[in-house]
Every structure is written in C-alpha cells, then in structure tokens.
Structure 1
Amino acid sequence: MRFGAHISIAGKIYQVAERAKRIGCNTAQIFSRNPRGWQLKELLLDEVKRLKDDLERFDIHPLIVHMPYLPNLASSKVGLYLKSVNALEEDLRRSEILGAPYLVTHIGSFGESSREEGLERVSEGINTAFNKVRNDVILLLENTAGAGRELGSRFEEMARIIENIKEKERIGICLDTCHGFVSGYDFRTKKAVSETLKLFDNLIGLERLKVIHANDSKSPLGSHIDRHWHIGEGYIGEEGFKALLHHPAIRKPPISSGNLVSSFRSEIRNLPIIIETPFKESGDDLKNLAILRRLAK
C-alpha cells in the first residue's frame, strides 16, 4: 500500500511534490486545474518535467488526477452534458501529460430524467471521450454518497456503467469509504468489511479497484450525508480502517477466476490510499496518514 493525500496545486504545479513529501506521502492526488471552473490553465512542459523529476526523486507514485466539480456526465441538460464530456477529454489528455495513470471522476446527477437514462448518458459520454482520446490513462469511477438524484452510490449502478463501456480495460473504481458508508455499505468491523468487499467483487470485480479514498464519516450508516471526518474519529472508527487495510483484497493483488476473485497473489499490492479528510490545521494530514500507517502494520 502507498499512502497519500489530496495536494494543492496553488502556485506552480511542481510544488505538489514538495508539499506531498512534507507530510510523508508516497502517493498523491491533485486537480490538474481549477476544480470550481471550466477554464484551463496551460500545463507548462518545463514545470511538468520538474514535477515528474521531483516525484521520482521523492518516491511518490502514482500521481492521481481528480476531475473538477462542475462536470456532470449524467446531466439531462444538453449544454452541460457536452461541456462535461469535453472536460473529461481534456483531463484524460492532461493526466497523460502529467504522467498520472489514473483519473478519478464523480459520476453525476440524472436531473429531470430517469435514473436509467442518466446511467446510459454516463456510459455514452465515457465512450465518446475514450474514442477521441487514445491513451493509457485509466478512468476511475468514484462511488458517491447518494444524495438526491446523485448516481453511483450503489455498486449495481457502477457495474451497469462499466457494462456499457466499450473499452473496459480503460475503466476502474475509486472506492471512497465515507461515501460507501453513508450509502449503506458497512466498514466498521472485520466481518462488515469482508461482506462489503465480497459484494463489490460479485458485482464489479476486485481487480477494478485501483484507488481508495480513506475518509472516516461524520454521518451515520445509510444517511446519504457526505461529511468526511478524521480517521478513527467518525462512525467507521479505527477498527473499521484496520480491518479494511488488512483485508487480502487491499493488501495483495487479486487473481481472477471467471467473474470472481478466487485467491490473491503472494506479493504486497501497492494500492494507493488517499485521504480527503478535513484540513483545518497544518498537522491534520500528517496525523491522519500516521494513523493509517499505524493501523496497516
């Protein structure tokens, strides 16, 4: 396992490496642009080269890019939908430039249409983007809290999206523990973690799990209220995170047999574990990462 945090890109993009190193990351997640706008800031090749060199020097990998907040691949509004697909294409290209093997995206809300129509639009939008951008970046669907008309809170919905993707080797999952918990998937005990990951494997396949967003929850199980909290201080608790970090699916690469994982390889899996916990004081990320590392021992 490799532990990291979401790192600010304020200033120069290469400053990400030093910021990540300062809090003890050996993986990191970033936005490649302003997360609350549509405008793009050009990636300068000399700055990108310095970023890559520093990440390699500090042994920080993989770099993970997260899509901005505004795109909605499930939107029933034509204008917003087309802008969202275009944003996905742009971020697939930018991820390749940055040397990031993974791009994480939220799935979106289906608006005034039906849930089924929203799921179909997501798959169609991803297929369009994949057809236009030919690279090796793997798009990771992030599960959601399931508030309102939000898609992607159920493993069944994510499986349905993947089912309709033409190039399935380019798609994976980023599992957010807080989002999963408030959607009704329990992570509080060893038994609960095993049951949740078994269901994930049955519906999606553990081989598609590429990144974990490790966030405790300030909201109770099944509440659909998305409030990330510090590791061990929320409803999931230290016992839950310890169980998750020691589960074979997280620690070792799975061996697929048909649609289900039958066993696990002997080597340690370098699965990226990213925190998106509240950041109010300078030591918050350092503290949360230290707790995860302790629980993983």
Structure 2
Amino acid sequence: MVKIGAHMSIAGGYYKAVDAAKALDMDVVQIFTKNNNQWAAKPISTEDEAHFSESLRRTGIQNPLAHASYLINLGSPKEELWLKSIDAMVIEWQRAEQLGLDGVVMHPGAYVDSSPEAGLERIAQGIDRVFDKVGAGKAWLLLENTAGQGSCLGWNMEQLGWLLARSGAAKRVGVCLDTCHAHAAGYDMAAAEGLERLEREAREEGVWGAIRALHVNDSKKGCGSRVDRHEHIGLGTIGLKGFERVLHHPDLSQCPMYLETEKGTNEEGEDWDGVNVRVLRSLI
C-alpha cells in the first residue's frame, strides 16, 4: 500500500499534527519538533512524548518524520556557524529519537563562498561529529536532495552518493527524495525518461537503495530551473503523469510520501492538503 501524508503543524502540541493528519485521511505525517526559524528549542516533556505516542497508536498514523531547521548549514565555511549547526543538528536528531520518529530530514548544506568540494567535505565531517554525539538509536538522518539553488549542495546524485559513501547506513544516514527539487535540478520528473535517468544515476552513485522517504511536491518552475518552489499536485510543471509514474514505481511506491505544499483552502473551501492527498490516491 502506498502511504501518503503531509507536513503538519504542531501548534498546540505534537499530537495535534497526528490528529490533523488523521482528520484528512492521511497515512503518515512529518513535523518540525521545534520552531524551524529559531536556534533555541524548548525541551520535549514526558507529557508531550506520551500524548504524541498515544495519538499515533489511536489514529494508526505511521512513519512519523521530522524536518530539521532551515538555519542549519553543515556546509558552511564559517567555523562559528558550522559548529553551531552541528550542535543544532545533534539536538534535532535527539528530539527525533525522543519522540520515536523514523528519522529527521536535513538539507545537506551550502558552500556559500568556498567551493562545492570544500562544502561537501564540511558536510561529511559535520555528519561524523553529529553521529558521534547522538550515538546508537532508531531514527535515521535523511539527506534531502536540493534544487541546487545558489550554492546548495546535494542537488545531483553524484554529490549525494559522495556523502553517503562517507557515512551511509552504518551511521543511519539515508536519503529523502524530493520530486520538486529533483525536477528543478534537471531530472525531468514530467517525462518517463527523466525518472529513468534519475534512477540510473542514483543506482550508479549508490543513492537508490538509500532512499527511505519521499517528499511529493509539484514544481512551480520548470525542469533545470534550479529554483525551489513547491506547487500543488498536478498544477505545476511535473504534472499528474509524472506523479503517476512515481506512485506506480515498484521501489519508490514502497517509501512513505509526504506533501510539503502550501497550506490553505482552494476556491471550493477544501483543505489543500486533503485535496492533494485525494489527487495522489486517484493516480494509484
């Protein structure tokens, strides 16, 4: 069974995200475990843990996942920000463990004013330090492919494969594949040939078998634009046929899928998350 859900708000309590996902007939859920635009993190109480766990049990929502703060940059050439990012990522991973999540998704990082090679090396070293501090556990660190905007790394399979070769399953490091980012990075998700190229390169670079989750987002911008702008399913440049191929792929369809599209309601007053889930299910 294809499992579909979305990133949901934790306003009012972590369990609220789970209950909201259930109300929209989702199978899985992704959350922030803290304010994603702040470094500080309020401790997770035992009561928070209990309510979250109970909500998952009661609703049957599976594969809870977290997304790390956008402030984190393990590729930074600036020592202060790099060390701060390492400490913040340790906290993100530990919070995922505390809530019993499957993992935490992280954008690999940006090299800013250094070089792609130097940035990748910083990310690899940063992951090593983070893992050493987190230690053994259940939750995985999932590197998300990027659109390649600016100096963001991890936009092609070669870069992701290089990072995985330095860490990989031994350190519970895998991949979360974002359809919008892949499309914007130059893998034409609207065409069968584009998905085939993505799979071929991912297999060659050792990435394919490391994919543990998908972000299913259409793209406002065209293939190769290198611009990260999510669109509702079927309304962007990937289109319904592109998502139909993903949903019917024998490997990708086994991964939990999470929407990260704009919140709100459509002209008919329907919740966009519910609409997107329904559209995806109609393609299965």
TM-score, length-normalised on structure 1?
A: 0.90
**Distance in 1 between the 2:139 and 2:108 partners?**
17
Question: Which residue does 1:116 correspond to in 2?
Answer: 117
Structure 1 residue 10 corresponds to structure 2 residue 5: no
**Distance in 2 between the 1:195 and 1:114 partners?**
26
3-state secondary structure, aligned to 1:65: strand
In the TM superposition, residue 189 of structure 1 has moved relative to its aligned partner by: 2.8
- 5 Å-filtered alignment, 1:110-259, equals 110-134=111-135, 135-165=137-167, 168-251=170-253
In the TM superposition, residue 195 of structure 1 has moved relative to its aligned partner by: 2.7
Q: Is the 8 A contact 1:194 1:247 kept in 2?
A: no
Unpaired stretches in structure 1, ≥5 consecutive residues: 252-268
**Distance in 2 between the 1:68 and 1:293 partners?**
30
Q: Is the 8 A contact 2:160 2:207 kept in 1?
A: no
**Distance in 2 between the 1:33 and 1:235 partners?**
32
**Distance in 2 between the 1:166 and 1:102 partners?**
14
3-state secondary structure, aligned to 1:200: helix
3-state secondary structure, aligned to 1:248: coil
Q: Is the 8 A contact 1:183 1:221 kept in 2?
A: yes
3-state secondary structure, aligned to 2:263: coil
3-state secondary structure, aligned to 1:287: helix
Question: Which residue does 2:26 correspond to in 1?
Answer: 25
**Distance in 2 between the 1:223 and 1:207 partners?**
27
In the TM superposition, residue 190 of structure 1 has moved relative to its aligned partner by: 3.0
Structure 1 counterpart of 2:257, from 258, 273, 278: 273
AA in 2 matched with 1:137: A
In the TM superposition, residue 280 of structure 1 has moved relative to its aligned partner by: 2.7
**Distance in 2 between the 1:221 and 1:130 partners?**
35
Inter-CA distance 94–130: structure 2 relative to 1 (3 Å threshold): same
- 5 Å-filtered alignment, 1:34-73, equals 34-73=35-74
Inter-CA distance 36–247: structure 2 relative to 1 (3 Å threshold): same
AA in 1 matched with 2:147: A
In the TM superposition, residue 10 of structure 1 has moved relative to its aligned partner by: 1.0
**Distance in 2 between the 1:114 and 1:47 partners?**
42
In the TM superposition, residue 167 of structure 1 has moved relative to its aligned partner by: 5.8
Question: Which residue does 1:260 correspond to in 2?
Answer: none
3-state secondary structure, aligned to 1:173: strand
Q: Is the 8 A contact 2:161 2:207 kept in 1?
A: no
AA in 2 matched with 1:293: R
Question: Which residue does 2:275 correspond to in 1?
Answer: 287
In the TM superposition, residue 166 of structure 1 has moved relative to its aligned partner by: 7.0
| Structure 1 residue runs of 4 or more that deviate by more than 3 Å after TM superposition | 166-169
The count of corresponding residues between Structure 1 and Structure 2 is 278
AA in 2 matched with 1:80: L
**RMSD across aligned positions (CA):** 1.3
Inter-CA distance 166–183: structure 2 relative to 1 (3 Å threshold): closer
Structure 1 window deviating more from structure 2 (96-105 vs 162-171): it is 162-171
TM-score, length-normalised on structure 2?
A: 0.94
Q: Is the 8 A contact 1:182 1:221 kept in 2?
A: yes
**Distance in 1 between the 2:9 and 2:168 partners?**
34
**Distance in 2 between the 1:279 and 1:16 partners?**
14
Structure 1 window deviating more from structure 2 (139-148 vs 278-287): it is 278-287
In the TM superposition, residue 200 of structure 1 has moved relative to its aligned partner by: 1.3
In the TM superposition, residue 205 of structure 1 has moved relative to its aligned partner by: 3.6
| Matched-pair identity in % | 37
Residues 197-248 of structure 1: per-residue CA shift (max 9 Å, x gap) = 2221221242211010000001001001111001011110000100111111
Structure 1 window deviating more from structure 2 (193-202 vs 208-217): it is 193-202
AA in 2 matched with 1:66: H
Q: Is the 8 A contact 2:149 2:227 kept in 1?
A: yes
